[in-house]
Amino acid sequence: MTRSLRVSHASVARRDPHLARGVERLLAARSGVTADPPPPPTLLPIALGSVRATSRIAVAPFCPRTPDDDALVALGGAAAAGAGLVVTPVLQAFGLASDDALVAWQRIADYVHGKGARFALRITTADAESAPLIAERAAFIGFDVLVLDAGHDPLAGEAMPATLAAARPKFKGWLGAQVHDKPAARAAVVGHAAQLVRAGADVLWVSAPSDGSARLPAAPLADRLRNELGVAIVVDGADALLPDLDAAIAAGRADMVFVRSVLVAERLRSPR
């Protein structure tokens, strides 16, 4: 039932608590968690390559694109609140161009890691030529996840498989790419995603335009990519409620959910 999101995970728990708890125990066992009762699906740990995130909630708080004190407060605050993965705003490549910027981002990375969270960099890159240096600098800073984004540049999008392949040797963490859904051209989007996986993507970061009728508009594409391509998926939670995010994990539509920090605070105050 939860795959449609017409019935949330919380609704299933109210209607059939035995079924819901059984699903949660199965998910927990797969994550190496033995607690009983198990935590909700979004609070289960997940392996990000060689490291482990303490929850499946990825948070990108509103903050500057420069590694100043305001960024430290916002990103560090998300880590302190309990985000499993703290995510930067989408940066331009020149944001990592100077040594001073590397040191400043490294300070933020150290703080985020000190709070027990993992750190992800989202960055736009136009071509394969710049990708190795970006990946090398991201690794130097200490990012655990690197997500390459072509933005709205169709040429950069077409080149993204080659860009990923060029970045792969320089980044040993979780390497991924942004996938923007285009419902009218879904087959082409899926084909492009398959190319990204063949090029070395460990994770696809899936978003979709909202039509006002779906609580989690990226879920259908996320579901298809995860189960057809066998790749890890982070799905944009948009304005979905926490029960919907739990449903996306429980139903196998995504591995992590991407939300705003206010949702993390709500979940930590009331995990059930």
147-186, pLDDT tens digit by residue? Answer: 999 988 889 999 999 999 999 999 999 999 999 999 899 9
CA distances to 113, 158, 162, 163, 221 from 189, rounded to whole Å, are: 34, 11, 16, 17, 9
Backbone angles phi, psi at 41, to 5 degrees: -55, -40
Class of domain 40-269: alpha beta
* Residue 135 CB partners (closer than 8 Å, separation 6+): 146, 167, 168, 170, 171, 175
Out of 27-31, 141-145, 151-155, 239-243, the most confident range is 141-145
Give 3-state DSSP helix, strand, coil % of the chain, rounded to 5.
50, 20, 35
Please check the confidence at residue 13 and state whether its pLDDT lies above 80: no
DSSP 238: T
pLDDT per residue as tens digits for the range 201-221? 999 999 998 876 667 899 999
Q: What is residue 85's three-state secondary structure? A: strand
List the chain domain ranges. 40-269
pLDDT per residue as tens digits for the range 18-53? 566 666 666 665 666 666 677 888 889 999 988 999
Q: What pLDDT does 243 receive?
A: 84
| Cα–Cα dist 188/177, whole Å | 16
Q: What is residue 259's three-state secondary structure? A: strand
Please check the confidence at residue 227 and state whether its pLDDT lies above 60: yes
**Average of per-residue pLDDT values in the chain:** 87
Q: What pLDDT does 264 receive?
A: 56
Q: What pLDDT does 98 receive?
A: 93
pTM: 0.89
Q: What pLDDT does 214 receive?
A: 65
| Cα–Cα dist 268/272, whole Å | 9
